[in-house]
Amino acid sequence: MALLPIVQYPDPRLAKKAEPVAVFDDKLAGLAADMAETMYAAPGVGLAAPQVGELIRMVVIDISEEKNALLVLVNPEVEAASEEIVECEEGCLSLPGLYEKVKRPAHVRVKYQDLQGASHELECDELMSVCVQHEIDHLDGVVFIDHLSLFKKQRAAARLAKMRKEKARAAKRREQDA
């Protein structure tokens, strides 16, 4: 197992459509384990393969408090979405520190494959619904701020750039003090 570097917005890999998984082998399982370790360490509740630079359709999710309910979804697809829409504050490990309200269907039914290639269905609501939709978006080259109006998206991206600059400046100061 290994911690993987998380690709940061606006890296072009985050805007690409990921390829379906066709081979269910040890390499895929190893990547899923590394992604889970990376997600737990961050910490986060979800991570998509493109966020670690692998342009394949796989995501890991664990929304449990105890961090003992890992879900690995291979080739996940939203099969049905409710007409009811909810607005929820979202964040992303590729845009750390940024939180914005995003509107999405309240409930979705998702089909996916597990690491052995077996097919499953999952009914999702509340945080799970938000998380699944957010992660599947990553497989289609979409990040959560893409759901905002252009004005709000630009403002959010500018805020992220400013936070990064401040963080880099603080790190440099610490270096000089050391």
Interface residues with Ni ion (CB under 5 A)? 92
Query: Which C-beta is closer to Ni ion: that of 92 or that of 139?
Result: 92
Q: How far is the CB of 54 from Ni ion (least distance, A)?
A: 14
Query: Which C-beta is closer to Ni ion: that of 50 or that of 105?
Result: 50
CA distances from 61 to 32, 47, 124, 128, 172 (A): 10, 7, 12, 9, 34
DSSP code string of 9-62 = TT-GGGGSPPBPP---SHHHHHHHHHHHHHHHHTT-SEEEGGGGT--BSEEEE-
Q: What are phi and psi of 21, to 5 degrees?
A: -85, 130
Map residue 134 onto helix, strand or coil. Answer: helix
Q: Which residue is nearest to Ni ion (CB)?
A: 92
Where residue 169 falls (left for φ over 0; alpha for ψ -120 to 50; beta otherwise) is alpha
Catalytic annotation on 135?
yes
Query: Which C-beta is closer to Ni ion: that of 21 or that of 92?
Result: 92
Q: How far is the CB of 50 from Ni ion (least distance, A)?
A: 10
List the catalytic residue out of 77, 121, 135, 175. Answer: 135
Q: Beta partners for 168?
A: none
Q: Beta partners for 123?
A: 109
Say whether the peptide bond before residue 10 is cis (omega within 30 degrees of 0): yes
Query: Which C-beta is closer to Ni ion: that of 92 or that of 106?
Result: 92
Quickly tell me which residue has 């269905």 as its tokens.
Answer: 121
Catalogue the active-site residues.
135
